[in-house]
């Protein structure tokens, strides 16, 4: 089970479903893209994490995970809600980076 804080945006799970995020991402494991917790791990120490992740959700682009995030025309406020939800998940180190640092 994924531990999340209670202050998460309530509309984020509905937006994740509406914009098809689960086609490429999942909780607990990667699909085509990284697991949501892996994203939380990658950005956990970056002060601009919310801005970076929400911009990526809003505009798409080439991913450092080896894929391409599509531009799904996600509104700015919705992208921020989704990014906030992702970043408040318990960070999990991606399998391919185990042992790095």
Average pLDDT of the chain to the nearest whole number: 86
User: Which CATH number describes the domain made up of 12-93?
Assistant: 1.10.760.10
pLDDT score of 9: 60
pLDDT score of 11: 79
Q: State the first-to-last Cα distance of the chain, in angstroms, to the nearest integer.
A: 27
61 burial (CB, 10 Å; 0-12 / 13-18 / 19+) is exposed
pTM above 0.85, yes or no: no
Angle at 50 between CA 91 and CA 32, to 5 degrees: 55
Q: What is the DSSP letter of 95?
A: G
* pLDDT per residue as tens digits for the range 61-77: 887 777 888 888 899 99
More confident residue, 16 or 96: 16
Q: Are 100 and 13 in contact (CB under 8 A)?
A: no
Annotated binding-site residue numbers for heme c:
21, 25, 69
Annotated binding-site residue numbers:
21, 25, 69
Work out whether strand 68-69 and strand 61-62 pair parallel, antiparallel, or are unpaired: antiparallel
The average pLDDT across 18-26 equals 92
């Amino acid at each position: 089970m994924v531990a999340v804080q209670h202050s998460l945006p309530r509309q984020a799970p509905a937006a994740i479903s509406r914009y098809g995020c689960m086609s490429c991402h999942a909780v607990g494991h990667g699909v085509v893209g990284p697991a949501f917790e892996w994203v939380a791990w990658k950005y956990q120490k970056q002060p601009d994490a919310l801005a970076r992740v929400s911009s990526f959700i809003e505009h798409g682009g080439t991913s450092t995970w080896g894929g391409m995030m599509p531009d799904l025309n996600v509104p700015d406020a919705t992208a921020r809600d989704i990014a906030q939800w992702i970043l408040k998940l318990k960070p999990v180190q991606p399998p391919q980076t185990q042992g790095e640092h």
